[in-house]
Amino acid sequence: MAQAEFDEKHRYYSKWAAGYVTAPQYLTEMLCVHVANQNREQLPDRFWQTAKWKKFYQQQIHSAFHLLESFDMKAILQALGDNRSKKTRSLRSPYFQKLVRIYQGKIDLAEATPKELREPIKGNGKPREPFVVDTVVNKLRKIDHNGKNQIQTTYTPLQ
């Protein structure tokens, strides 16, 4: 079951196998831990060989293979760690698969969005110039402000 060395296929460390395991094996172990915690039990070393866990482990590892064909490992682990899946007892559960789809969508969106769009845009420090529509009134104001048709006022303050 477990391999002592880390490689491309065996990349997840198992506490119960004393070595590295494949992705479906790791997912199944995490689900078994989840179920054991619900039952307030402790998992023994190499629990998949015990009579109590053997059938459950074999069923769920088959489900893990099918899940990994459709979804990313990261999405499945996030769904398994979500509070909404705390009563999940199977990787085949429709509710659990719905959670996995939600997390997979978030991962796909993050990968599809360019990095520049995810980071805040930094300005050059200058304010934007106001957008002025060239209407007849604005053209008249522009002519008046250029000094051509300014009205002279003769205001003398009282002394």
Instruction: Give the pLDDT confidence of 41-95 residue by residue, as tens digits.
Output: 998 888 889 999 999 999 999 999 999 999 999 999 999 989 988 888 999 999 9
**pLDDT band of 156, cuts 50, 70, 90:** low
Mean pLDDT of the chain: 82
Q: What is the pTM of this model?
A: 0.66
For residue 30, what are its two tokens? 């995490």
Residue found under tokens 């990313």: 72
Dist. CA 73–CA 75, nearest whole Å: 5
Dist. CA 100–CA 67, nearest whole Å: 9
**pLDDT band of 126, cuts 50, 70, 90:** confident
**Are 150 and 140 spatial neighbours (Cβ–Cβ below 8 Å)?**
no
| E strands in 3-100 | 12-14, 19-21
Give domain limits for the chain: 12-118
Q: Please, how many CA atoms are within 13 Å of residue 142, restricted to the half-sphere of its CB?
A: 8
- DSSP element (H, E) containing 68: helix 51-70
Phi, psi of 3 (to 5 degrees): -120, 140
